[in-house]
Amino acid sequence: MKTSVIVFPGSNCDRDMAVALRNATGHEPTMVWHKDSALPDDLDLVAVPGGFSFGDYLRCGAIAARSPIMRAVVDHARRGGLTLGVCNGWQVLIEAGLLPGALMRNADLKFVCQDVHLRVEEVQNPFSRGYQAGQIIRVPVAHHDGNFYGDEDLLDRLEAENRVAFRYVDANGDATARSNPNGSARNIAGVLSENRRVLGMMPHPERLADSALGGVDGSVLFEALAA
Amino acid sequence: MKARVHVTLKNGVLDPQGEAIRQALSTLGFEGVENVRQGKLLELDLAEGDPASAKERVEAMCEKLLANTVIENYSVEIS
């Protein structure tokens, strides 16, 4: 499997993402600088990593989404190419118009950096098919603007189309206000595109993809992509 | 010519920063502030000389970059 990781000024999870992809696929991902205008040929997956691209100026992900490489990323996604955006990467994919809704300042205004429990809501897609439906996993989050917003019509549509990939829950699997680290609508932690080939998520699976990091709940996602 | 762009959150979109500002005002003794909505002001210097086409161009900038129209409204003043 051929993968690429996009690197913006201010990306800081790009190398973690590359390690997770390399371990799962057995091949070194190509790191692609934001000023490049083309992706490698025959690419299977593009990952847009976490970080603070362009210092979060204007809105998180707004400037990155207009950088030259993003035209190629949008083309790749529109052709059905696998596209994963984690944390700032999800913000970038939303700003680029590949995923719906918006990610706003956390409801309590604080930067949140902790492990959260997620319920895997949806396994009929290339990203989370390695998990059991309803499985509870534990993955770190670290963000200031992860408060997923959509109007009621959008939220209902995402649920009806089974496009909510992950939801913030407590250790028992209940989606409560306390288990919601950022105020996201309906505890939504990750969203799939209509064709289920693009996933945006706030939690960081690449930070829990090696037992040396304290767990491997995240590596299931990368192994499913590579399988 | 100059353009001033106001970007504000749409009605119905929660504004936790506005709410924190309202609470801080109340702490300072400014009573009676029922709601605060915060936003952005952008000032642009334009080479353009025609107000109508300047407005049209700045509105296009708002649609493409300056505002996120999923959650934000914008207004453009040309002077």
Give yes or no for residue A213 having a pLDDT over 90: no
Distance from the A134 Cα atom to the nearest Cα atom in chain B, whole angstroms:
30
Interface contact B14-A106, CB threshold 8 A: no
Q: So what's the pLDDT on residue B12?
A: 87
CATH number of the CATH domain containing A218: 3.40.50.880
What percent of chain A is helix, strand and coil (3-state, nearest 5)? 30, 25, 45
Q: CB contact, 8 Å: A62 with chain B?
A: yes
Domain spanning B2-78: which superfamily?
A: Phosphoribosylformylglycinamidine synthase subunit PurS (3.30.1280.10)
* Owning domain of residue A151: 3-226
Distance from the A109 Cα atom to the nearest Cα atom in chain B, whole angstroms:
7
Q: So what's the pLDDT on residue B14?
A: 87
Helix (H) or strand (E) holding A143: strand A136-143
Which chain A residues are Cβ-neighbours of B13 within 8 angstroms? 104, 149
Q: So what's the pLDDT on residue A226?
A: 94
Tokens found for residue B60: 């296009």
Q: CB contact, 8 Å: B70 with chain A?
A: yes
Distance (Å, whole) CA A155 – CA A160:
9
Interface contact B17-A109, CB threshold 8 A: yes
Residue from B11, B65, B66 to probe the interface with A (highest A Cβ count within 10 Å): B65
Q: Which residue of B has its CA nearest to A152?
A: B12
How large is the average pLDDT for residues A37-45? 97
With a CB cutoff of 8 Å and minimum separation 6, the contacts of A73 are A6, A39, A46, A48, A83, A96, A98
8 Å CB contact between B33 and B21 = no
ipTM score for this prediction: 0.85
Query: Tell me: the pLDDT tens digits for A183-198?
Result: 999 999 999 999 999 9
For chain A, what is the domain count? 1
How large is the average pLDDT for residues A71-100? 98
Q: So what's the pLDDT on residue A146?
A: 98
Neighbours of B32 (CB within 10 A): 6
Q: CB contact, 8 Å: B16 with chain A?
A: yes
Domain ranges (residues) in chain B: 2-78
Q: Which residue of B has its CA nearest to A107?
A: B16
